Each structure stands twice: as structure tokens, then as C-alpha cells.
Amino acid sequence: MATLKEQLWDPIAGFGVTFRTMFKKPVTVQYPFEKRPTAPRFHGRHQLNRWPDGLEKCIGCELCAWACPADAILVEGASNTEDERFSPGERYGRVYQINYLRCILCGLCIEACPTRALTMTNEYELADASRESLIYEKSDLLAPLLPGMEAPPHEMRLGDTERDYYRGDAAARAVAHGSAAAGGEQ
């Protein structure tokens, strides 16, 4: 049982904590009116990257879909032709969907991607009111065209084979020709 001294002192000590806290800087962020930048490596919305000439890096291999523990990715590959080329190699991702109702933003898919076609941005505002709007299509995920890029389909501008692209020669040529070298990757 508390002594008389403790009964008197405990409320004073409690109010002391309240009083000290009143003068500390608040940590509450008034989201969505105030937005703070995320950590640089924050896992947000995905992005499908491009080569510096605008061709897509995705080869439709489906490794990202197989790696996904939430079954959130759907990929359907197709073959490039001489008349309609979307990526430097033989295949490209014709259909690409990520279901953000399922995705847990774990990043296993981007680790599995052999071409660095798939990366994650810092964008975290993915909530919406309808189920359909949270299934992102390829057009929603593709990186924007930067200066020097051309929307596919088109020929390989930075080499004769896909090896030129994968060995880094394509990026070097893009720099030499003054195009964007980062390939839109974040």
C-alpha cells in the first residue's frame, strides 16, 4: 500500500512529465498537407525501366512473377519482330500487371529481375477507392520517356545486338550521342 508521501508525490511527478513534454518540438506530421521525403531506399511503387534509346528493359521472362510471394505480378511475354521491336533482345513483356491489393512491397521481384528492368520508386501513395485502379498495367508502370528517348516500337539504336546493350556499350554510346544515360531507372 502506498505511503502518504508517495500518494502526494506521484501526481506531482506525473504532471512534471506532462509539463516537460509541452515544450518539446512536436513529432506529428500533418499528412497529407505536409509530406516528408522517404528514406532513399524506401520500397514504393514499381517502375519498368527503359534503355537510353527508349526500348524497354523487360524481356518478359516472368522471373519477377515467380519470385513474388503474394502472386501479385502477371507477365505475358511475346517475341519482338523486325517490324515491331520493344526491347533489344528476342522477347519483351507484352502484358505486365502488378496488383497492389496483393503486393506487400517486399522487393523480392526486383531482386529476381535479371535485366534491372524492374525497380521500385519512393512513391507510397497507392491507396484508392476502386479495385480496378489498384491493378497497375504496363502503361502505368513504364518509366517516362526522357529527352533522347523514342517510344517503342523501333529499331535498336544503340547497338546491333542485345549484347551491346547488356555489356554497357549502349549507355556509353548514348552518352556519346548526348542522350539520357540513366535509362529512366530510379
d(CA 123, CA 98): 15
Residue nearer to ligand SF4 on the CB measure, 11 or 168:
168
Closest separation in Å from C-beta 80 to ligand SF4: 13
Annotated binding residue at 17? Answer: no
Task: Give phi and psi for 164, each to the nearest 5.
Answer: -60, -35
Record the cell numbers describing residue 47, joined without a space: 517502375
Annotated binding residue at 61? Answer: yes
Closest separation in Å from C-beta 72 to ligand SF4: 4
Annotated binding residue at 109? Answer: yes
Residue nearer to ligand SF4 on the CB measure, 17 or 39:
39
Tell me the residue length of the chain.
Answer: 186
Task: Give phi and psi for 94, each to the nearest 5.
Answer: -75, -45
Closest separation in Å from C-beta 43 to ligand SF4: 7
Residue nearer to ligand SF4 on the CB measure, 21 or 139:
139
Q: How many CB atoms lie within 10 A of CB 100?
A: 17
Annotated binding residue at 58? Answer: yes
Record the cell numbers describing residue 32, joined without a space: 497529407
Closest separation in Å from C-beta 67 to ligand SF4: 6
Closest separation in Å from C-beta 22 to ligand SF4: 42
From the number of C-beta atoms within 10 Å of its C-beta (0-12, 13-18, 19+), residue 17 rates as exposed
Annotated binding residue at 178? Answer: no
Residues forming contacts to ligand SF4 in the complex (CB under 6 A) are: 58-64, 67-68, 70, 72-73, 75, 93, 98, 103-109, 112-113, 115, 117-118
Give Cβ neighbours of residue 85 (< 8 Å, ≥ 6 apart).
55, 92, 152, 153, 154, 155, 156
- State the binding site for [4Fe-4S] cluster: 58, 61, 64, 68, 103, 106, 109, 113
- State the binding site: 58, 61, 64, 68, 103, 106, 109, 113
